Structure formats: C-alpha cells, structure tokens
Amino acid sequence: MEVKMGIEILGICLVLIIYLCWRVFFRPFNLFRDFGDLGFESVSKTGNDIYKRNAINEMRKRRKNGKLPPSYPNGWFAILESESLKAGETKEIYALGQNLVAWRGRRSGVTYVADAYCPHLGAHLGVGGEVKGDCIQCPFHGWEFDGEKEGKLTRIPYAEKVPGFAQIKLWPVTETNGFIFVWFHSEGSGPSWNLDPIPEIVEGKWSYRGRSEMRVACHIQEIPENGADLGHLNVLHCDSAWSGDDPKSSWISRNLIQHVWHGTWEPNVNRSHEAIMKLTHLIKLFNRFSCLHINVDVRQIGPGIVILHFDTYFGQGVFVQTVTPIEPLLQTVTHRFYSGGWIIQPVANMILDAESKQISRDIRIWNRKCFLDKPILIREEQTIKLFRRWFSQFYYENSNSDNGRTNYFKKG
C-alpha cells in the first residue's frame, strides 16, 4: 500500500516537473493589458472597480486633446494575428472606426476582409456567418458572397437567379510576418506599397517566442513619434526594467542599474513610406560598469508597423510591432517576438517582459498627454519636427480629424 502511494506521489511530482519545465522552457510568452489605470493612479487606489472605471472615463473626457491630426492615416494596419483565424473560420472585427468581417477560405486558405453588414437586410456576417468554400454565408437568409470573385453574390438558397450587382466591399488584404493586414485609404485608393516578409520568420529560421498586446488611449501619431523623440529615452527609460512600469515606486535605484541609450532617426531616402532608427543600448551597474550591449535596427513602415531587429550576446531576434486605431483615441499595440535558437524561452520571456515594462511607461504618458500641434522644440529635438513632416504624407486633404467633424488641414 505504501509502495503504491509512493509511486502515485512520484508520478504526480513528475507531471508537475514536466509542466513547470514546459511553462519555463517551451511555452511562448503571452500578455494582454488594457490601458487600465496607467496614469490614473490618483483614482485607481480608492473605491470599487465600477467607481474607478467611471472616474477614469470622466478624466479621459476632460482631457484637452489639442488640434488632433486625422484619426486614421493611410496605410497597412494589422487586424488579426494569423494563427487566430483558422481555415473555415470567421471573425468579427472593429478597427479604423469600421465594422468588418474576416474569414479564411476552406479550399484556398486565403484570408478575406469585408464590410460586416449584408447588403440584403443588414445582418452582421461575422456573427453567425459560415464559410462555404471561399464564400461567406449570411446567417439571416443564407446569401453567399464569394471572396475569390471580389465579394460578388453567387447564391441565394431559395432563388433561381441572383442580382448581378449585389456584392460586399472587400478590403485589400496581405498576410505576412504573423499578421493579417488591411489597407486603409481615406480616398479609397489602392495600396501604394507592399509589405516585405521577414525571411527569418516566413522561412521558419527563427522561432516564435511570444506576444504582448496593449490598449492605449491616445492618437495613433503619438506612438510612432516616440521613436523620433530621442530625448525621452534617457529620462523615461533609464530605470531598470525590474523597476516595473512605475520606477518611482520601486526600491531599485538608478545608482544600482541604469539603461543608457543612444540613437538616430531619419526618413529612408530610398523608400518614402519608411523611416530608419539606429539604437544602441547598454546597462550600467553602479554608474561605472557597462554591460549587456544591444544594437537595434528599427524600420518604421507607414503609420502602423515597426520592425525591430536586435543583436545581443545571447543571439539575434526581431520584434514586429503593429499599431491599429480602433477609434479616434484608442489604439491596439501588439508585439510578436521571434529569435534564433540561442535565445532560449526563459531569456525570451525576460526580453518580452522587459519590453512590456518599458512601453508601459510610455503608455502612462500617452494616456494623459495633450497633442500639441505646435510644440516648443529645441535644437536637439529637430528629429521630432522631421518626423512630423515625414508622417504627414499619410494624411490627405480630405482626411478628417475628430471623428470626421473637423478638417485638420483647414487654416484657422
């Protein structure tokens, strides 16, 4: 009896050890964080959850927004991560102020994205709609729209003929580097550039290590502008990542561990929709000893994609960052991390966690700041002015700001 119990206990311990090893060494990092109370600490420590949320919403409404640029610049935007949409599945999407439906064809495996509402009687195709081959079938009356035929209506189950003019609007779609992207343009023009696949990802040379996703309450331009704002790096991001998203409340002093950053930012003269950032990073111990040098090559691709290649002592890797506007002052920021085999999963988890801590510090600022159309800039901050001139190419004169109520480019 005792031997049998001992074997059972040993078996349970073995299962626990295997599970812990899987979590530590093989399970990809996965983090979701709403913007929550970052920057709203004055109300987040008192009252219940309903009181906190109402108080935060009231403070958001009172925030001075300034003269905002258009809410939705032109470009490619991620709406889903590839593995989240299986063949034969549909997804309800809300992005860029639009109700959309995405589905993946059963035969082809191709992803299609369309306006969500059936032109027959307005049913939402993403709520109960089914995939038939490469068609999406409306849940209300069974009308089928073919993704391979530009969204044309091809079948009505109770009718012999279908109206030839009936179709749903398909959006330009491309799928690469772990994401499904749609093309948005304020004037309805088609894509003016393509997205390049990252060979190490699409060829399977580097392994997927994990992801993070955050909701941010700010204008989309604030987020990529951070890359050109070199002056904030050694102020906001100099404290150790172990200090968390609010270093002032941490016991770890800058005198013990300090991040030191140097960087450059400039438009890509060969590809006008891209900008290039070169970043070097090191850690200083006790303000004397330098260690953990990291070189980062950053490409800003249009308004909503950033590719960060980095080289460390542990090996090489890449972050794919996407920023997608949900509504005028709400963004989803997603990171997917890939690396070579020398960066084992525990190290990858630490890198992803450190990245999430650092960007949380930015989110605390973004959630509460006012966008200034004409900020006071000093000589050392000319890259911000350069960035704004570069970013303006993604707005058109009929691009509206403030959810369509005002024109950003109108004088006065």
Secondary structure (DSSP) of 175-193: EETTEEEEEE-TT----SS
For residue 10, the model assigns a pLDDT of: 54
For residue 54, the model assigns a pLDDT of: 78
For residue 46, the model assigns a pLDDT of: 61
Give a yes or no: residue 44 inside a domain.
Answer: no
Picking from 115, 113, 131, 103, the residue whose alpha carbon sits closest to that of residue 173 is 113
Question: What ranges make up the beta strands (E) of 63-149?
Answer: 75-81, 90-95, 98-104, 111-115, 130-132, 135-137, 144-146
Record the pTM.
Answer: 0.89
C-alpha distances (whole Å) from 404 to each of 274, 326, 368, 398 are 27, 15, 23, 10
Please tell me whether residues 212 and 163 are part of one structural domain.
Answer: no
Please tell me whether residues 287 and 231 are part of one structural domain.
Answer: yes
Give a yes or no: residue 95 inside a domain.
Answer: yes
- 3-class DSSP assignment, residue 410: coil
How many domains does the chain contain in total?
Answer: 2
Please tell me whether residues 370 and 302 are part of one structural domain.
Answer: yes
Give a yes or no: residue 183 inside a domain.
Answer: no
For residue 9, the model assigns a pLDDT of: 52
For residue 19, the model assigns a pLDDT of: 43
Give a yes or no: residue 227 inside a domain.
Answer: yes
Please tell me whether residues 270 and 381 are part of one structural domain.
Answer: yes
Please tell me whether residues 232 and 279 are part of one structural domain.
Answer: yes
Please tell me whether residues 163 and 201 are part of one structural domain.
Answer: no
Give a yes or no: residue 138 inside a domain.
Answer: yes
Please tell me whether residues 173 and 200 are part of one structural domain.
Answer: no
Strand-pairing partners, residue 30, are 211
H or E element that contains 6: helix 2-25
Phi, psi of 195 (to 5 degrees): -95, 130
Over residues 91-117, the pLDDT tens digits come to 999 999 999 999 999 989 999 999 999
Q: For residues 407 and 412, what is the distance between their CA atoms, to the nearest angstrom?
A: 10
Please tell me whether residues 153 and 292 are part of one structural domain.
Answer: no
The CATH number for 255's domain is: 3.90.380.10
C-alpha distances (whole Å) from 96 to each of 75, 77, 127, 301, 330 are 11, 9, 19, 18, 10
Give a yes or no: residue 69 inside a domain.
Answer: no
Choose the final residue of a domain: 177, 206, 236: 177
Q: Which pairing describes strands 144-146 and 152-155: parallel, antiparallel, or unpaired?
A: antiparallel
Residues of the chain with pLDDT under 70: 1-26, 35-36, 44-47, 253, 398-412
Please tell me whether residues 229 and 312 are part of one structural domain.
Answer: yes
H or E element that contains 30: strand 29-33
Picking from 172, 170, 218, 189, the residue whose alpha carbon sits closest to that of residue 76 is 172
Q: For residues 181 and 56, what is the distance between their CA atoms, to the nearest angstrom?
A: 32
Count Cβ atoms below 10 Å from residue 137 Cβ, excluding itself. 22
Q: Give the tokens for residue 94.
A: 């809300």
Count Cβ atoms below 10 Å from residue 42 Cβ, excluding itself. 11
For residue 391, the model assigns a pLDDT of: 98
Please tell me whether residues 238 and 267 are part of one structural domain.
Answer: yes
Please tell me whether residues 133 and 282 are part of one structural domain.
Answer: no
Give a yes or no: residue 285 inside a domain.
Answer: yes
Q: For residues 195 and 198, what is the distance between their CA atoms, to the nearest angstrom?
A: 9
Choose the final residue of a domain: 177, 212, 238: 177
Give a yes or no: residue 389 inside a domain.
Answer: yes
- 3-class DSSP assignment, residue 122: coil
The CATH number for 156's domain is: 2.102.10.10
For residue 2, the model assigns a pLDDT of: 57
Q: Which domain holds residue 100?
A: 82-177
Please tell me whether residues 172 and 236 are part of one structural domain.
Answer: no
For residue 32, the model assigns a pLDDT of: 83
